[in-house]
Structure 1
Amino acid sequence: MSRLRLYVAIYVVLFAFATMQVFVEGLGLSYWTGFWAVIGLSAVKALLVAGYYQHLRFEPRSLSYLMLVGLTAAVVLTAAAAYSIS
């Protein structure tokens, strides 16, 4: 039963963060302030999903580090592709 409560609480937090992302766009902030606010909220949401719904929190640390290496490689390749386009 406690796992169900945990998953429901995380779902509510994810829903609240998604709602905040929509409101950030409507606040009329400068582009970069809004951009970094949405990126920050998205990063927290991604960590919650990976940690709890994909069960990385309960896996050995080596698997979590392996996922981090893959994420880093994806970000570097995306940045390199964006740089080569401009």
Structure 2
Amino acid sequence: MAHDSVKLYSAIYVALLVAATLNFLLFESSFVEFTYAQAIIGTLVIATVKTLLIVAYFMHLRWENRSLTYLMGMALALTMLLMAAATYSIS
């Protein structure tokens, strides 16, 4: 059982490393040119995937009760709403 978790965590670590490398390549790549908007969208997608991996596995939310997962999701959604409101309220 412990051997499986080491393999799982190692695979997630490698996935996070690959995601960080892709994030770097979006802005610093000389062989493929991305527009600034493409790089920003790619960065946000990669950041979302990295966050989901970290929250699900390293923070053990994947094995918690669904009610706790929904509570965390609601907190995230409300945080995003507050950030959007703050962004549009600045004049």
Normalising by the residue count of structure 2, what TM-score does the alignment of the two structures yield? 0.90
Residue matched to 1:84? 89
Give the number of equivalent residue pairs. 86
Q: Which residue of 1 aligns with 2:55?
A: 50
Q: Which structure has more RCO (C-alpha within 8 Å, separation ≥ 6)?
A: 1
CA distance in 1, matches of 2:38, 2:18: 19
Cα distance in 1 for residues equivalent to 2:7 and 2:38? 34
Q: Which runs of 5+ in 2 are unaligned?
A: none
Instruction: State the Cα deviation string for residues 1-50 of structure 1 (Å, max 9, x = none).
Output: 11011001100100110111000012431121111100000000000000
The two structures have a TM-score, normalised by structure 1, of 0.95
Q: Unpaired segments of 5 or more residues in structure 1?
A: none
Structure (1 or 2) with the larger CA radius of gyration: 2
4+ runs deviating over 4 angstroms:
none
